Structure 1
């Protein structure tokens, strides 16, 4: 009985401590918002998974460009408008549905992607070809979107410049940034994310 009482007291103290951390973790209400809570520095685990507040889009899924979720609402407004206009044109002109498979990401999400890429590719150097650091990521800055599915990505290759959207990396046909004025010619894509 004494063990049970001690265990319950310990659990209760832990719950109170965690609740206090959560309550005091956002000292300034002005800091509240996507990716700006006390949880932003926690590692991604099954207990602290990625969520909408990180800009997370489930693998194999995608967002309608008109959706109102942080992965889209935290994008640069001009980029979001260009993506929405391009998506409308792709559907109207070619019957191609455009999905945003990734948009804005929290630093936490980007760090998780980079750590995962190191595990998959076996080295930081190879991982950097595919995933930028949180400090360098245009996704974290709200300046990039990944589009899908494949036919939509290739439609953007052909027509994205009409909207100022250019493929940034040669090895990522899905990654677009607002690089030129609408109607201008896109620059040649960089070899990969490690090149720029």
Structure 2
């Protein structure tokens, strides 16, 4: 008689449910022990100062400090660069410019009044460009001596206006001042009778700038 062998089924291993539960509990416990991160701190920062005419290391660039946009003429007297000029100088410029228009010449302005901060910035830039304070002084005065800061000078573009002043300006009391700056115009009220004074070689030779 054939006897079939029946091996007992292998024992079924129980899933380690207890171990899994214990591990999960341990993880949860560790998570509960971790410190909650603090919220990011914020630093109170004072609002930036509103722009002013003169700031920190120089002047705020812009019309308020004396810069002029392209195409400015002596008749654009709402701009600070012209509005802050000596009234007698501005009047003489406008009278001369009106007559110059009959000759087809327009008085375009490169610069007029400047703030002290803007002037100081220009001087620092000139020192960097020319390599020394002595050389820079041939082109740019300090803020406490500049006739631009006091409103007593205008720089005209060399598109005819400055040459017209060289030829006819004395009749209006308008004179060029420096040989190396044939655009720098100042008022000399007695020039109509005596003519314009002799030119200084450059601003460094002007005794008014060394007071």
- TM above 0.5, yes or no, is yes
1:78-97 to 2 correspondences below 5 Å: 78-92=88-102, 94-97=103-106
Shift of 1:63: 1.4
The structure carrying a bigger helix percent of its residues is 1
Describe the superposition over 1:104-145 as per-residue Cα deviations: whole angstroms up to 9, x where unpaired.
000011001111111111111010000000011000000000
Aligned 8 A contact 1:168 1:175 in 2: yes
Q: What are the within-5 Å matches in structure 2 for residues 1-196 of structure 1?
A: 5-6=40-41, 9-10=42-43, 13-16=44-47, 18-19=48-49, 22=50, 40-44=54-58, 49-58=60-69, 61-67=70-76, 68-92=78-102, 94-181=103-190, 183-184=192-193, 185-196=195-206
Instruction: Give the drift of 1:195.
Output: 0.9
Relative to the length of structure 2, the TM-score reads 0.73
Taking the aligned partners of 2:94 and 2:45, their CA distance within structure 1 comes to: 46
In 1, the alpha carbon distance for the partners of 2:191 and 2:71 equals 25
Structure showing greater radius of gyration is 2
1:117-175 per-position Cα deviation (integer Å, ceiling 9, x unaligned):
11111111010000000011000000000011332111110011111000011111000
Aligned length: 168
- What are the ranges of 5 or more consecutive residues in structure 1 without an aligned counterpart? 23-36
CA distance in 2, matches of 1:62, 1:122: 32
* Per-residue deviation, residues 35-72 of structure 1 (Å, max 9, x unmatched): xx85514224xxx74111101125xx341211111000
Q: Which residue of 2 aligns with 1:26?
A: none
In structure 2, distance between residues paired with 1:103 and 1:2: 58
1:15 is displaced (CA, Å) by 3.8
Q: Structure 1 length as normaliser, TM-score?
A: 0.78
CA distance in 2, matches of 1:168, 1:75: 17
- 1:191–1:91 distance in 2 versus 1, CA, 3 Å: same
Partners of 2:166 and 2:175 within 8 A in 1: yes
Alignment RMSD (CA, Å): 2.1
Is the contact made by 2:174 and 2:185 (CA closer than 8 Å) also made in structure 1?
A: yes
Corresponding residue for residue 29 of structure 1:
none
Distance of 2:72 and 2:92 partners within structure 1: 15
Whether the aligned pair in 2 keeps the contact of 1:165 and 1:178 (CA below 8 Å) is: yes
